[in-house]
Structure 1
Amino acid sequence: MHQHPRRTAIAAGILLTAALGATVPASAAPQSRQAPATALVINARWGGHCTYDRLVIDVRGTIPPVTVKPVKQLRYDASGKKVPLAGKYFLEIKLSPAAAHNEAGRSVYRGPHLVQIHLPALKGLALTGDFEGVVTFGTAFHTKPAYTTLKLHSPERFVLDVRHANTCA
């Protein structure tokens, strides 16, 4: 039986290189093209259409689970203070896990924090929380909102559509 020491050495080198490459910690890998581990909420915007008003929450990274629920009044998460939005009906929108700030604590959210809106259904929007992996928004309405939600991709965004009477007819 004839041995090939050079081939054996090359094969051993390849295996060793592969084994070392597999043990590089994830934190040492380039991060520039990867989505953030926690979804970052970067903007909120809205628009009026003939039969619905649309609220869009833009996210960098994968859209996290989102809950939308009616509440009697809106409160800021950290202080518990009442949010000064005029309305009779309110929806609370929670994205979690998510953040509106980066790892250094700087805000990445560029949208409004508190704004009155003059659309047929949507009357106000507030960023009410960015705390412990939960980003919360509050919306205000004069009439009980009938709504649907969507998650859209490329770019990542959460959509809340609120129906109203046809304003284009």
Structure 2
Amino acid sequence: MNHPHFRRIVALASGVLLTAGLSLAAPAAAAATAATTATTQTPLVVNARWGGHPTYDRIVIDLQGYVPTATVTPVPRLVYDGSGKPVPLPGKYFLEIRLHPAAAHDEAGGNVYLGPKLRQISLPKLKGIALTGDFEGYVTFGAAFDTLPYYRAFPLHSPERFVVDIAR
């Protein structure tokens, strides 16, 4: 059909559909931008805690924001980031827990981390924990053990936290 009235109806319908599509896409784009902004803010490490359970000891690192990439690595000794000074925790075996990107301070440099900086612990496996670094987007903890730690690590959400379970 090549009727002028038909072309006008098709053009009008196309305009209506295009307008509807744009109005539906705008909130979706705004939501995507908000989600991206929320996840691009550096997560803040605000606390570290621990507890004993019947078959494992648990370390929990509490966060504001999202759970960043985290690694748990056996290391021969614990040292403070930057200075390289030894961390005075008793133990023969050590784990380094590193979160990135993360910070234990706000944009003005104020401390937001409320947990212990260095604490000896008397659980069956876990013997101590220390905040060993907060530098250039990395927050690092060290954990000390008398015996070789067998562990599993994973994030938990609502509230955001990173967990390390150490088998007894």
Question: Which TM class, normalised by the smaller chain length?
Answer: 0.7 to 0.9
Match of 2:88?
84
Contact 1:36 1:61 in 2 (8 A): no
User: What is the total number of aligned residue pairs between the two structures?
Assistant: 140
Which stretches in structure 1 are left out of the alignment for 5+ residues?
Answer: 1-21, 23-29, 165-169
Contact 1:40 1:60 in 2 (8 A): yes
Match of 2:4?
none
Partner amino acid, structure 2, of 1:43 = N
Aligned to 1:57, what secondary structure does the other structure show? strand
Q: Distance in 2 between matches of 1:35 and 1:118?
A: 37
List, as ranges, runs of 4+ consecutive aligned residues in structure 1 with deviation greater than 3 Å: none
Query: Displacement, 1:35?
Result: 6.5
TM-score, scaled relative to structure 2: 0.77
Q: Percent identity?
A: 65
- Counterpart check, 1:59 vs 2:59: no
Q: Distance in 2 between matches of 1:148 and 1:50?
A: 16
RMSD of Structure 2 on Structure 1 (CA):
2.3
Partner amino acid, structure 1, of 2:125 = A
Q: Which structure: greater helix fraction?
A: 2
Q: Distance in 1 between matches of 2:122 and 2:39?
A: 35
TM-score, scaled relative to structure 1: 0.77
Match of 2:143?
139
Q: Distance in 2 between matches of 1:36 and 1:60?
A: 13
Q: How does 1:5-20 map onto structure 2 within 5 Å? A: none
Query: Displacement, 1:150?
Result: 1.4
